[in-house]
Amino acid sequence: MNGTVENVIETIKNRYPEQKEFQQAVTEVLQSLEPAVEKHPEFVENKILERIVEPERTVIFRVAWMDDNKQININRGYRVQFNSAIGPYKGGLRFHPTVSLSILKFLGFEQIFKNSLTGLSMGGAKGGSDFDPKEKSDTEIMHFCQAFMNELWRYIGPDTDVPAGDIGVGGREIGYMFGQYRKIQNAFTGVLTGKGLEWGGSFIRPEATGYGATYFVEEMLKARGDENGINGKVVTISGSGNVAQYAVQKVNQLGGKVVTVSDSNGTIYDPEGVSGKKFDFFMDLKQNRMGRIKEYADEFGVEYMEGKRPWSIPCDIAMPCATQNEIEKDDAEQIVANGCIAVCEGANMPSTLEAIEIFLESGVSFGPGKAANAGGVACSGLEMAQNSMRIRWSPEEVEEKLHEIMRNIHRNAYETATMYDPNPRPDGIRNYVIGANIAGFLKVAKAMIAQGII
């Protein structure tokens, strides 16, 4: 390993021994940057690696709010503003009991390179709270969101930091936070994305991450000489939230067959495919009734694998769209053994380092999350542009722009991998981990050097 890279990774491990997720993200990214570091000594001279792994600002604050029983509750709020060298901080807010500084730092660090890959002017950030919105009333969620924004407003703005939604933060929560920000600032600005269509939101934003990941798979397949793309392919998808829902929809539109979806309790296996009336039931179950995926199995008489992930099911394409580290070494070996030709990450860091190594060594086309799931933040960037111009594009215009961004991300990652991969394959399969990480990094690193030691 390159000495500079090794030293930075060891420094992070020693400085933040309890932040395992952040350590994993830094290790994965920095190891893949070695060819770029060796080719560009100016990055070492300017200590870009040492600077890029430390957030520019980390804000931690108390959130006190009152529930429906008139009891005062205390949660912790965070905003990790990681890097703003190429634009205002941009990244989601997550409300979930598992939220910690380690998880937000890993997400914010990844966001730097993901946002860079979109070609839009956006820096990297992430934030949220250990608040659990499940089983809370609308009034309780409103009170929490208002209390959260009462502190966060000091650190954000349309030209400073533009948060969006993430796990536990949808249109309802964005609305409550935007209203409170507008009240405090006495200004109507595009300070948050994921807003309602009636008050500054963009078409296609809910669909963007799932659609974008599917477009990325399509490009990977074409790059390896498969002109049919997704058409006729069997696809396993994990998760049943926003990303998974619209990945299923776009796979269906492109002629593929999705045979699995899952939630935290288990996985359904439907060999006929989650399409037609079954897809309608799935969307109603998860978007309106907030039910469990087992109800799909009960309704249609298909197999339900309690407590299990989808990765034992044979497929052509696997799309992990649930959460981090959901594909481990044994899962990856099973996926490869079953003949899968492409894995595309709809979630953030859903594959462990050991799993990624197996995919790359086996010749599976592997789309890392920072490239493959960049459609969500890309559409957020398009919402920012529409807000700045006080206009709104049609759904068709937004989706075409999103599709073009995903094609460009793939092209950039593919060409960069071709240039920097020390062990390139001759068959059109590329190491998209190296390609995406280096392509995203180069833009940010050059901007950091140009702007001086800050």
**In-domain check, residue 257:** yes
CB 291 within 8 A of CB 261: no
Is there a single domain that holds both residue 139 and residue 229?
no
- The reply to whether 147 and 264 lie within a common domain is no
**Are 266 and 164 members of one domain?**
no
Q: What is the pLDDT of residue 85?
A: 98
Residue 30 falls within a domain, yes or no?
A: yes
Determine the pLDDT at residue 441: 98
Same domain, 180 and 216: no
Residue 126 bears catalytic tag? yes
Does some domain include residue 161? yes
Low-confidence residues in the chain, pLDDT < 70: none
Q: Are residues 165 and 309 in the same domain?
A: no
Q: What proportion of the chain, given as a percentage, has pLDDT over 90?
A: 96
Under a CB-based contact definition with an 8 Å cutoff, are residues 210 and 246 in contact? Answer: yes
Domain co-membership, 166 together with 255: no
Residue 231 is predicted with a pLDDT of 98
Model pLDDT for residues 234-275, shown as the tens digit of each residue = 999 999 999 999 999 999 999 999 999 999 999 999 999 999
Residues 22 and 167 in one domain: yes
* 435 assigned to some structural domain: no
- Residue 307: CB atoms within 10 Å: 8
Q: Is the same domain home to 62 and 123?
A: yes
* DSSP-derived 3-state class of residue 102: helix
- Position 422 scores a pLDDT of 77
Choosing from 90, 105, 114, 126, which is the catalytic residue?
126
170 with 231, same domain: the answer is: no
Residues 170 and 253 in one domain: no
Q: E strands of 307-363, at which residues?
A: 317-320, 342-344
Residue 114 falls within a domain, yes or no?
A: yes
What letter does residue 154 receive in the DSSP assignment? G
Q: Examine the fold and report which residue of 372, 395, 428 is the final residue of a domain before the chain moves on.
A: 372
**CA 264 from centroid of its chain's CA atoms:** 18
Residue finishing a domain among 154, 187, 220: 187
Q: Let me know if residue 420 belongs to a domain.
A: no
For the chain, how many structural domains are there in total? 2
Q: Residue 448: enclosing H or E segment and its boundaries?
A: helix 432-450
Mean residue pLDDT across the chain: 96
User: Domain span at residue 296?
Assistant: 208-372
Residue 157 sits in the same domain as residue 237: no
How many other CB atoms are there within 10 angstroms of residue 427's CB atom? 10
Which of left, alpha, beta for 277 (phi over 0: left; psi -120 to 50: alpha)? alpha
On whether the CB atoms of residues 112 and 145 are closer than 8 A, the answer is no
Q: Tell me, yes or no, whether 55 lies in a domain.
A: yes
Q: Could you tell me if residue 252 is inside a domain?
A: yes
User: For the chain, first and last CA: distance in Å?
Assistant: 28
Are 49 and 172 members of one domain?
Answer: yes
Answer with the one of 324, 341, 372 that is the final residue of a domain. 372
Cα separation, 214 vs 209, whole angstroms: 9
Whole-model pTM?
A: 0.93
- By CB atoms closer than 10 A (0-12, 13-18, 19+), residue 355 is buried
Q: Domain of 279: which CATH number? A: 3.40.50.720
Give CA separation, 281 vs 206, 269, 304, 325, in Å.
18, 15, 16, 28
